Amino acid sequence: MSVKADSEPRRATATARVVRFRSNALGPEIPDQVITEEPLEIRVEAPGLPPESYATIMRTPGNDFELAVGFLASDGMITHVRDFSTVCYCTLAATEEQRYNIVTVALRGLPEGGRARTTSVSSACGVCGSQTIADIRQRVAPIESDAAISAKTITLLPDRLRKRQRLFKETGAVHAAGLAEMSGDLILCREDVGRHNAVDKLLGKGLMDGAWPLQDKVLVLSGRIAFELVQKAALASIPIIAAVGAPSSLAIELARESRITLVGFVGPDHFNVYSHPERIRA
C-alpha cells in the first residue's frame, strides 16, 4: 500500500470576523478561529475499472487518507491493508480546492456486493444513505477478547483525551476519538466536525499501519455513544468503549450483542457500565 500526497494540504481551521458580547456590551469586530467543514469525495478504483464516486462526506480537513480508508472499512469494502494498493488525492481536478477534496482508494478487488453506496453523508450522521436497514446494521461476530482494564484507568481517559484536543481548544467545535492501551496510555487522537469521522480516522490509521484488528485497545469518545460508533468499534474488534456522554438504547443493544464493554458518563470518580462489566477490574 502506498500513499501519495501532502500530509496537511488544507487547513483544519479558518478565520471569521465576530462581534463579542461581554460585560453587558457589544465589542468591536475581531478575528476568531472557527473549524473548517468541507466535502470530501471518496472514490474507489478497482482493477480494470475507472475511479467511481463512492460517497461524499462533510468533514474537517486533515488525515483525509485515514478517513477514506476508515470509512470504507466501516462500510465493509476493505478489511485488511492488503485490500488496497494506493491512496491519493485527485490529480486531474480543475482547482487545488477540488484536488484536495477528492481521495481515491485503489482496491485490489471488489468485495461481494461492493460499490452499493453512492451518496452524501453530513457531518452529523455516519449511516446516511445506506440502502436498507440491513445495510445499516451489518452482521458482526461477537468479540472474543481477554482484555481487561482497571476502573481507575477508565476515569483517567477523558482528561487524557481532552489534553490532546488541539482543534477543540482553538475552536470549541469538534468531536474527538482516541485509542488507548489497557494501561491507559493514549496512543492516538483524532478530531473532526463529525464524531463518526473522528472514529473512522482512527480506524483508517490502524488499518493503514497494519494494526488491525484492534482487539487490545480502548475507544475513547468525547461525547455521546451513538449506534454507528459501536458498530465501527465492533468491526474493528475493539472490546471496550469509554465515553464522556451517554449511549443510545440501540448502541447498548448492539454492544451487548457484540460483547463490547460499554462505559458512559465517565468522570474523575464515576462512570456507568451498560454492557459486559466483566472486563473492568475494581
The greatest distance separating any two alpha carbons of the chain, rounded to the nearest whole angstrom, comes to 65
CA dist., res. 254 & res. 256, Å (int): 5
Q: Which residues, 6 or more positions from 209, have their beta carbon under 8 angstroms from its beta carbon?
A: 81
Q: Is 128 a catalytic residue?
A: no
Residue 252 in grid coordinates: 447498548
CB 238 within 8 A of CB 188: no
Catalytic residue among 88, 90, 125, 128: 125
Query: Please, what is the end-to-end C-alpha distance for the chain in angstroms?
Result: 43
Region of residue 182 (phi > 0: left; psi between -120 and 50: alpha; otherwise: beta): alpha
Q: Is 149 exposed, middle or buried (0-12, 13-18, 19+ CB in 10 A)?
A: buried
* Residue 188 phi, psi dihedral angles, 5° rounding: -160, 140
CA dist., res. 212 & res. 238, Å (int): 10
> Which residues on neighbouring strands pair with residue 104, listed in sequence order?
43, 88
CB 156 within 8 A of CB 184: yes
Catalytic residues: 125
